A and B are shown apart, each in its own frame.
Chain A
């Protein structure tokens, strides 16, 4: 892999974001709205629920982590969609850049987009609701890492769909994360789900990440095994996502969609 090519593709998105105030506001706006919404819900629950009475801000922390996952996935999708909307798709795929470099560049640039939105929102939660996601300490980094890998994986799967089926797959891009949210046990323990769904939920990394987040905040202890397990599960999905992306790329070459994309 070549740094210059990866950087070039990242630069295209950095220029796009840094040159557009509405885009920056859009990136910051939605996570901040989430913080306000879940901040008030969290405040209400902590005042009226025994389960949450020990730890102020479990829901808000979950909301911040979920938003991180959501932003990571959407950022990945958005960067790919930008190429379709700007009718630049053919230029990109005839440039001497490897598919692995495209994936790497989008994966790295998605961090930048995600953090632009999330850091202000996480900081905002401290004075407004007295909740700091940073209280999770070192495990926070690894929980975010697991979420990020899984978020990018979802992005890869959606972009694979866009490659294979064209812009009509766009609606799926927006809805993709909502399909998994109920099984992710973001705001509630896994035991709430019916047993049959619990089995499915446990093969997703989200359950392990959010269960561990609650464990840290409620019991003030860290189960590193669960954290490592969540990252490994995310990595398995990530490898699957890359494989599907490559299959979609070769399928698109077969079908001829690379040359007509955006039209």
Chain B
């Protein structure tokens, strides 16, 4: 297993945000992390990114325990994109990519920026300040930053939130084609069930800090007797009992 999460727990004062969760992610697979707001998704991702110290349990990435690992070497294999985390607005797109490329120690950075800007169609506004871009353009730039180091693992937190359907579809299409061309493991947190069905090999459903179900989209939909993931999500989110 590429990512192993064992009994992962996080307690903030009296609030048990994540309660002994266990899951594995195979290399080069895309796994969706689903659940209602406040179910512990962001906290779990925060722990996997090394931003939050777990209260218990362990995270093993590529056979290395995250807590005991060299922070720099493990972080250089990962990256993260979220519409809630922005790049400095007063820097141009190119300056931001240059800064992050250097932080991640990217070799042939100019070539990499050229390649990635062509792939994500951001070339025409490379010299524009990031704060002057539209939501859709910013989203693509954030995605470019998250791919600048050719990460082995990408954490995507609601990558298409607040995008219009056209741009959202473009981003989903890009992630889909990126997965095919590159060896990458993705953990995708999303509230867009169609997106999850399209991109994910399997899903993990969380509620109240616990995993309440996991498997492929098809098996989970079938198991709960629903027609699609949206209906399944609603059933699980609204049920009073944990499944």
Interface residues of chain A, those whose CB is within 8 Å of chain B, are: 2, 4-5, 7-9, 11-12, 15-16, 19-20, 82-83, 86-91, 93-98, 250, 253-256, 258-259, 263
Please tell me which one of the listed residues A19, A86, A94, A250 contacts residue B51 in the complex, with CB atoms under 8 A apart.
Answer: A94
Asked whether, in the complex, the Cβ of A256 is within 8 Å of the Cβ of B43, the reply is yes
Asked whether, in the complex, the Cβ of A5 is within 8 Å of the Cβ of B105, the reply is yes
**Please, how many angstroms separate the alpha-carbon atoms of A256 and B85 in the complex?**
15
Asked whether, in the complex, the Cβ of B102 is within 8 Å of the Cβ of A11, the reply is yes
Please tell me which one of the listed residues B12, B86, B102 contacts residue A7 in the complex, with CB atoms under 8 A apart.
Answer: B102
> Which of A8, A16, A94, A97 has the most B CB atoms < 10 Å from its CB?
A94
Interface CB pairs A-B, < 8 A, 8 = A9-B99, A12-B99, A15-B95, A19-B91, A91-B87, A96-B71, A98-B71, A254-B53
**Please, how many angstroms separate the alpha-carbon atoms of A255 and B85 in the complex?**
19
Please tell me which one of the listed residues A7, A12, A259 contacts residue B91 in the complex, with CB atoms under 8 A apart.
Answer: A12
Number of interface residues of B (CB under 8 A): 39
Distance in Å from the Cβ of B94 to the closest Cβ of chain A?
10
Please tell me which one of the listed residues A97, A256, A258 contacts residue B103 in the complex, with CB atoms under 8 A apart.
Answer: A97
Distance in Å from the Cβ of B128 to the closest Cβ of chain A?
12
Q: Is B136 an interface residue (CB 8 A)?
A: no
Please tell me which one of the listed residues A15, A89, A96, A250 contacts residue B99 in the complex, with CB atoms under 8 A apart.
Answer: A15
Distance in Å from the Cβ of B206 to the closest Cβ of chain A?
17
Provide the residues of chain B in CB contact with A15, threshold 8 Å.
91-92, 95, 99
Question: Quick check: which of B75-83, B165-173, B192-200 contacts chain A, the rest being far away?
Answer: B75-83
Mask for B61-88, Cβ within 8 A of A = 1, else 0? 0000000000111011011101011111
Provide the residues of chain A in CB contact with B207, threshold 8 Å.
none
Distance in Å from the Cβ of B183 to the closest Cβ of chain A?
19
**Please, how many angstroms separate the alpha-carbon atoms of A263 and B86 in the complex?**
11
Distance in Å from the Cβ of B31 to the closest Cβ of chain A?
19
Asked whether, in the complex, the Cβ of B99 is within 8 Å of the Cβ of A256, the reply is no
When A and B form their complex, what is the total count of cross-chain residue pairs whose Cβ atoms lie within 8 Å? 106
Asked whether, in the complex, the Cβ of B99 is within 8 Å of the Cβ of A11, the reply is yes
**Please, how many angstroms separate the alpha-carbon atoms of A228 and B38 in the complex?**
55
Provide the residues of chain B in CB contact with A253, threshold 8 Å.
50-53
**Please, how many angstroms separate the alpha-carbon atoms of A259 and B85 in the complex?**
9
Please tell me which one of the listed residues B12, B75, B82 contacts residue A255 in the complex, with CB atoms under 8 A apart.
Answer: B12
Please tell me which one of the listed residues A5, A83, A90 contacts residue B80 in the complex, with CB atoms under 8 A apart.
Answer: A90
In the complex, the chain A residue whose C-beta lies closest to that of B12 is A256
Asked whether, in the complex, the Cβ of B104 is within 8 Å of the Cβ of A94, the reply is no
Determine chain B's interface SS by DSSP, over half rule: mixed
In the complex, the chain B residue whose C-beta lies closest to that of A8 is B102
Provide the residues of chain B in CB contact with A250, threshold 8 Å.
53
Asked whether, in the complex, the Cβ of B53 is within 8 Å of the Cβ of A90, the reply is no
Asked whether, in the complex, the Cβ of B98 is within 8 Å of the Cβ of A256, the reply is no
Asked whether, in the complex, the Cβ of B90 is within 8 Å of the Cβ of A19, the reply is yes
**Please, how many angstroms separate the alpha-carbon atoms of A259 and B91 in the complex?**
22
Mask for B131-149, Cβ within 8 A of A = 1, else 0? 0000000000000010000
Provide the residues of chain A in CB contact with B52, threshold 8 Å.
253, 256, 258-259
Please tell me which one of the listed residues A88, A98, A254, A255 contacts residue B87 in the complex, with CB atoms under 8 A apart.
Answer: A88
Provide the residues of chain B in CB contact with A96, threshold 8 Å.
71-73, 75-76, 103-105
Taking A82-B88, A88-B88, A253-B52 as known contacts, 16 extra A-B pairs with beta carbons closer than 8 A to each other, sorted by chain A number, are: A5-B102, A12-B88, A12-B99, A15-B95, A16-B88, A19-B95, A20-B90, A86-B90, A89-B85, A91-B145, A94-B75, A95-B104, A96-B75, A96-B103, A250-B53, A259-B46
**Please, how many angstroms separate the alpha-carbon atoms of A16 and B87 in the complex?**
12
Provide the residues of chain A in CB contact with B91, threshold 8 Å.
12, 15-16, 19
Please tell me which one of the listed residues A88, A89, A95 contacts residue B75 in the complex, with CB atoms under 8 A apart.
Answer: A95
**Please, how many angstroms separate the alpha-carbon atoms of A82 and B73 in the complex?**
27
**Please, how many angstroms separate the alpha-carbon atoms of A15 and B92 in the complex?**
9
Q: Is B208 an interface residue (CB 8 A)?
A: no
In the complex, the chain B residue whose C-beta lies closest to that of A19 is B90
Please tell me which one of the listed residues B12, B85, B99, B145 contacts residue A8 in the complex, with CB atoms under 8 A apart.
Answer: B99
Provide the residues of chain A in CB contact with B79, threshold 8 Å.
94
Provide the residues of chain A in CB contact with B235, threshold 8 Å.
none
Mask for B89-125, Cβ within 8 A of A = 1, else 0? 1111001001111111100000000000000000000
